[in-house]
Structures are given as structure tokens and as C-alpha cells.
Amino acid sequence: MAINMASLVYPVMILLIMGYVIDCQALQKGFYSDTCPKVEDIVKSTVQKAFNDDATIAPGLLRLHFHDCFVQGCDASVLISGDSSERTAFANAGLRGFEVIDDAKSQLESVCPGVVSCADILAIAARDSVSLAGGPSWSVEVGRRDGMVSSASDVSNLPAPTDSVDVQRQKFSDKGLSDHDLVTLVGAHTIGTTACLFVKYRLFNFTATGNSDPTISPSFLSKLQNMCPQSGDSSDRIPLDKDTVSKFDVSYFKNIRDGNAVLESDQRLWGDSSTKSIVQNYAGNIRGLLGLRFNLEFSKSMVKMGAIGVKTGSLGEIRKVCSQFN
């Protein structure tokens, strides 16, 4: 009797696909509603306390989540401490907020041990940080599990302040993110600071001939040179948004439009037709309405970013301590 190979192969393929779906469950709202119903309240109160003590923790926690998702996916691999872990990489120098995540995790372990992942705590904390800084809030889909790999050598794919638009586009595209997501997510630079190390090369010797980056407006150039003098300490920090460093708003996009972006990678968004149109839409002239549009789009892009490379189902683990594997 002839055997129809397709009748054997297809069921196996279906089982494999079904197994993959079961093992990689989708993130969802209310994942902890039965197992740890107070998770969001505990994380929010922890972030609120830290914010009350130091409002600059908001951009720190947001950046921590971003750097986590772009390496190994959103799996809290950036939180692991130890030699050669992600957080030891140069690109992750200056990351802040680890103690806030540790605090929330400790509290959660006392009420629902072994249930809530560090990756989910970080995603919720990033959302709460944006909200506290005057930005939007959104429903965080949860169900992530914590990764079991953290290596500094994997951090090379993080967006860098010297990246051209093409390089930025490729790095975001590799994570399933569009040009729209790129511009929207880097709008997070509306809060926080950066080190003069990442700015000074634009101010004094941009093309090795002693000139400055011509895309910087003359009036802003002099201000930047005063804040980051050539002989000054490269670790000194300056605002990423010259107008409202602590407020989550659209002034960052106005800065790009006017040649007042602090980072080269941000200013380059004005030189590409695709990203320029998105910046223009956010910057515009009607602050209130356009601010509302940015808030809405930022929320959508954060949800999208928060699903990058997640471990769910039986993948990964639920760490007992966020800074170390079980």
C-alpha cells in the first residue's frame, strides 16, 4: 500500500507549530490577576517612592527597559550582575534603576514568591516612570519570563549616539520595529541626560579638522560648548532636552526641527525624508494636540517594543533575585 508522506509530515508540522504556540504563549493583560493581583500596585508604589526621592530615576528606568529589550529580548538579562554580563558593557555604562527593580522584586517575593518575573517588573516600572514624568500610561501586557543568558558581547546591537539613520533603521527593523517606532521611541529622550563624552566630538573636532557638526544651530552650539568645554570632564551630564529635561513632552521633536538635538543620532532624523516627516508631525505648531498624538503613539510603540523576543510558557525562569540566575 502506498504511503502518502504528506499525511505523515503535515500532522508532525502542526504538532510542532502547536507546541511552539503553547510554549510561547502571548503576553496578556491580567496575567497575574489570580496569582499575584497586587503586582502593579506594588511596582507603582515602589517607583513612586523612588521618584519622590529623585525624579531623575524616571528616565533611568525607561532606558533600562529599552536596553533590556534590544539585547536578548525583554527578558531582564540586563539586570544580571557579574563579570562579562550585559550591564558591564560600555554601552550600558550609566544605566540606573537596578535598586528600584530589586526593591519591587523583594516585596513581590514576600507576597507571591516565584510568580512575577523581573522582566515584567521592569516593563511595568518603565510605564509608571513615563506616567510620573507627565507622559502617558498604558496597559502593560505581561507573562514574560526571565532569560538565562547575559553577555556583554551581545550588547553591540544597541542603538548608538553616532549611528546614521540607516544604521538606526536597521537596528530597529531587526527587532520588528518600523521607522515610525524608531522616531517615536527615541522621543524618550525628552527626559533624562547624557554624558559630555557623547557630545563633545560634535562640538570641537567633528571631521578631524577642528570644526563643529554643521547641523547644530549656531546659538545652541555655543551653549553646548559652555556645558561641555573641550577640556572639561567627559563624565559631566547635560539634558537631552534643552527646554524641559524632566517633563515628558514634544519639545524634543521641536529641538530636532530647530537643530537643537544634543545627540548626533537624534539630529540625523531630520536629514532623512521618512524620519523627518514623522518628526515634523510630532513637532508641529499646536503643542497640546500634537502632544496628545505623541503620547498615544508612544504608548503603542512601547507595547510593541515590550514584546521583542520575550520568553513565555516554559522558556526561561522566574528569578528569585533579579541580579542573579536561580
Cα 311 to chain centroid, rounded: 17
DSSP labels, 100-118: HHHHHHHHHHHHSTTTS-H
Three-class SS state of 317: strand
67 is catalytic: yes
Three-class SS state of 324: strand
- Tell me the binding residues: 68, 71, 73, 75, 77, 86, 159, 189-190, 241, 244, 249
Exposure on the CB side of residue 152, measured as CA atoms within 13 A: 12
DSSP labels, 291-310: HHHHHHHHHHHHHHHTTTT-
Identify the active-site residue in 44, 63, 67, 127. Answer: 67
Residue that has been written with the C-alpha cell 520588528 in this structure: 176
- Tell me the binding residues for Ca(2+): 68, 71, 73, 75, 77, 86, 190, 241, 244, 249
Helix axes 39-53, 98-111, angle to 10 degrees: 150
Q: How far apart are CA 235 and CA 314, in angstroms?
A: 42
Q: What is the dihedral sign for C-alpha 121, 123, 124, 129?
A: positive
- Tell me the binding residues for heme b: 189
Q: How far apart are CA 321 and CA 118, in angstroms?
A: 8
Q: How far apart are CA 67 and CA 96, in angstroms?
A: 11
Active site (catalytic) residues: 67
